[in-house]
Amino acid sequence: MTEHRFSQIDVFADRLTEGNPVAVVHDADDLTDETMAAFAAWTNLSETTFLLEPTDPTADYRLRIFTPDRELSFAGHPTLGAARAWLDADEAPRDQDTLVQECAAGLVRIRREAGSGGRLAFAAPPLLRYGPVDDADVAILRRGLGLAATDIVDAAWVDNGPGWVALLLRDAATVLDIEPDRVVLTGFDVGVVGRHPAGSDAAVEVRAFVPTVGTGEDPVTGSLHAGLGRWLIDTGRLPTAYTATQGTCLGRRGRVHVEQVGNDLWVGGATTPGVSGKVHL
């Protein structure tokens, strides 16, 4: 058993308890896969991460990401939370303004956003699956979310690692009214998005349903926003820079900032330290 520095960061909120927490274990190179998986199951957070020495010479650090029941190749709020924890440990990035994270999905750039109060943003990795959803799958999703056919504007696969399938709904109110059936949704990680009324402080409301994890709904989900942003900007439904809200139905106040710059899609938000100490693993 060894002692490791431990952090818990609240992501996509500037006040503790209003975002999505991620656990971060530092200097985890000595830990086995089994130990990492067991600790992630024990924390019972949507994701637990482990910082390791990079194998790519251009990376600042390597990250492994676990849910309570599986390892992910990439996830958004763990990427930002782990970056904040790494910086708070007085680590020095090769570039003062941009970190490079190595993970199973490849190299992910993370920038410090000037004039944003210390906000971090990651460059969205390529989509692994992108395109239309079979009518049969849409029918299952509609039933599992309790939606009428007229509630759904469009559907697309926007998978960048976790497996997201997305539904664009007619408005934010429809998103907020969903009462999902976890049994029917088994086998899908599904995101839903709908526009807020004109004049709102955010463009869209988002919810993420992951039937096998925790309560079945993720509070604020960076990887989903990365996929949604690519899809909705590509199709002209949203501008190249916008703000999204998520977590409202769970009592959270997540704010996700999405911006397309050239070929890069940046997904960012606040990162708020919540817990620091030691863990014995």
Q: What is the pLDDT of residues 99-127, one digit of tens each?
A: 999 999 999 999 998 766 679 999 999 99
Candidates 186, 197, 246, 201; CA nearest to 221 is 246
- pLDDT of 231 reads 98
Predicted confidence at residue 221, as pLDDT, reads 96
pLDDT for res 116: 64
Per the rule left: phi > 0, alpha: psi between -120 and 50, beta: everything else, 202 is beta
In DSSP notation, 27-79 reads S-TT--HHHHHHHHHHH-SS-EEEEE--SSTT-SEEEEEE-SS-EES--HHHH
Per-residue model confidence as pLDDT tens digits over 180-208: 999 999 999 999 999 999 999 999 999 99
Q: Which of 18, 47, 102, 259 is catalytic?
A: 47
How many alpha carbons lie under 13 Å from residue 168 in its C-beta half-sphere? 19
Planar angle of CA 29, 30, 34, nearest 5 degrees: 100
pLDDT tens digits for range 47-96? 999 999 999 999 999 999 999 999 999 999 999 999 999 999 999 999 98
Q: Are 216 and 249 in contact (CB under 8 A)?
A: no
Mean pLDDT (whole number) for 150-172 = 97
Residue spans of the domains in the chain: they are 3-126+268-280, 129-262
Strands (E), 132-240: 152-159, 164-169, 189-195, 204-209, 217-218
In the CATH scheme, what is the code of domain 129-262?
3.10.310.10
Same fold, 3-126+268-280 and 129-262: yes
Q: How far apart are CA 25 and CA 4, in angstroms?
A: 7
Residue 259 has pLDDT above 80, yes or no: yes
Q: According to the model, what pLDDT value does residue 212 have?
A: 77
CA–CA distances in Å: residue 260 to residues 80, 86, 212, 231: 18, 26, 32, 12
pLDDT at 113: 80
Q: State yes or no: is 47 an active-site residue.
A: yes
Of 118-122, 144-148, 221-225, the range with the lowest mean pLDDT is 118-122
Domain 3-126+268-280 grouped into CATH 3.40.50.1970: no
Contact 164, 223 (CB under 8 A): yes
Q: Which pTM was predicted? A: 0.95
Whether the predicted pLDDT of 220 surpasses 70: yes
